[in-house]
Amino acid sequence: MQFAGSHILSISQFERADVEQLFTVADAMRPYAHRRRRTCVLDGAILGSMFFEPSTRTRISFGSAFNLLGGEVRETTGFEHSAIAKGESLWDTARVLSGYSDIVVMRHPENGSVAEFAAASRVPVINGGDGTNEHPSQALLDLYTIRSELAGRERDIDGLRIAMVGDLCFGRTVHSLSKLLSLFADLRVSLVSPEALKMPAEVVDNLQAAGHQVLETDALEQGIADVDIVYSTRIQEERFASREEADLYRGRFRLNQSVYTANCEPNTVIMHPLPRDSREGARELDIDLNDNPNLAIFRQSDNGVLVRMAMFALLLDVADQISEHDAPVNWCTERRF
Ligand code: CP
């Protein structure tokens, strides 16, 4: 893949060598993301950030990543603050926004909308999540986290045993992660969901065509036994016709410390793209796991900054110039990491 100047719309664009290149750059971002050094390699560059659905991690970490590289962020959140509310098309919006920015990140509730925007954009566009379709940067940070959690456990991504649990139908993160995992070898993937929220058939077919074992089950205990990673997901209430319909499935699969102890291997890593639903009646990942050292969810969200910095560095073709523009930090950074 030619990163410089490209859009990142789908994990399907990636080959394994591209993932490895991105992760090498992400590793090099650690001193900057951890505020031990600072760099102004993107001084003068502008990120256009357009989020038409709620977001905490993706929006803020893309913005922080751009700021940490020395660039500035201009953002719009919600349709009500955009001229789209006055009937402006995505095509016109893209023509305008790409005149104001060097790169754009966008989240939109409709499948394919970010690709439609990118087709009219004059600058690179990153998909920050489009409907139930894809969330490529999340998959990349998830895999980066898996790689880093497995390091030191004598396990590798090749041969990985992973369970994905929850709303596998509407959850875009598991669609993108499954596509990304299919680039690796000899995986065993357990897909734990209610029948009505199963992983789309084309995603399962893609994993099987790549030679991976896939088990589909609605039994949590069966799915999470003998795995390296449990990747829990929230019921995507916003994709259902009503809250009542989502309630049919909410709380169906609850991973808590006692379920973990009874069914998982002692070192099984617990992941979740977040937000987890901590309301009574949901709790797919219980807060009683917060002191479990294998709970990787906040290491995962931290890794979002590294991976998104690497994406910007590669798409804007400055990955080999970072250290030419760096300096020590002069503020207190103790106890952050
Ligand atoms: N994981 C994720 O996409 O989180 P946000 O919705 O908060 O961006």
Set 34, 57, 188, 254: catalytic member? 57
User: Which range of residues forms the domain containing residue 77?
Assistant: 11-134+304-336
Active site residue 179: no
**107 an active-site residue?**
yes
Give the mean pLDDT of the chain.
Answer: 96
Sign of CA dihedral 284, 168, 165, 154: negative
Q: What is the CATH number of the domain that holds 77?
A: 3.40.50.1370
Residue 94 lies in a domain: yes
In this structure, are 84 and 128 located in the same domain? Answer: yes
Distance 60 CA to ligand 1 centre (A): 9
Which residues are registered as beta bridge partners of 48?
74, 104
In this structure, which amino acid lies at residue 88? E
Would you say residue 1 lies in a domain? no
Question: Which atom of ligand 1 is found nearest the CA of 59?
Answer: 8
The answer to whether residues 214 and 233 belong to one domain is: yes
pLDDT in tens, 230-248: 999 999 999 999 999 999 9
Q: Which pLDDT score is estimated for 55?
A: 96
Structure tokens at 237: 């209430």
Q: Is residue 232 part of a domain?
A: yes
Catalytic residue, chosen from 7, 59, 108, 135, is 135
- Whether 31 and 127 share a structural domain: yes
Q: State whether 327 and 180 are in the same domain.
A: no
Cβ atoms of 185 and 158 closer than 8 Å: yes
Query: Of 39, 58, 76, 233, which is the active-site residue?
Result: 58
Q: Does any domain span residue 2? A: no
128 and 72 in a common domain? yes
Task: Say whether 243 is catalytic.
Answer: no
Ligand 1: lining residues by beta carbon, under 6 Å: 55-58, 129, 138, 273-275
* One domain for residues 229 and 284: yes
Rounded to two decimals, what is the model's pTM? 0.96
Considering the domain architecture, whether residues 96 and 20 belong to the same structural domain is answered as yes
- 76 lies in some domain: yes
- Whether residue 261 sits in one domain with residue 140: yes
Q: Verify that 281 and 154 share a domain, yes or no.
A: yes
154 confidence band (pLDDT: 50, 70, 90): confident
Q: Number of structural domains, the chain?
A: 2
Burial class (CB within 10 angstroms; exposed 0-12, middle 13-18, buried 19+) of 125: buried
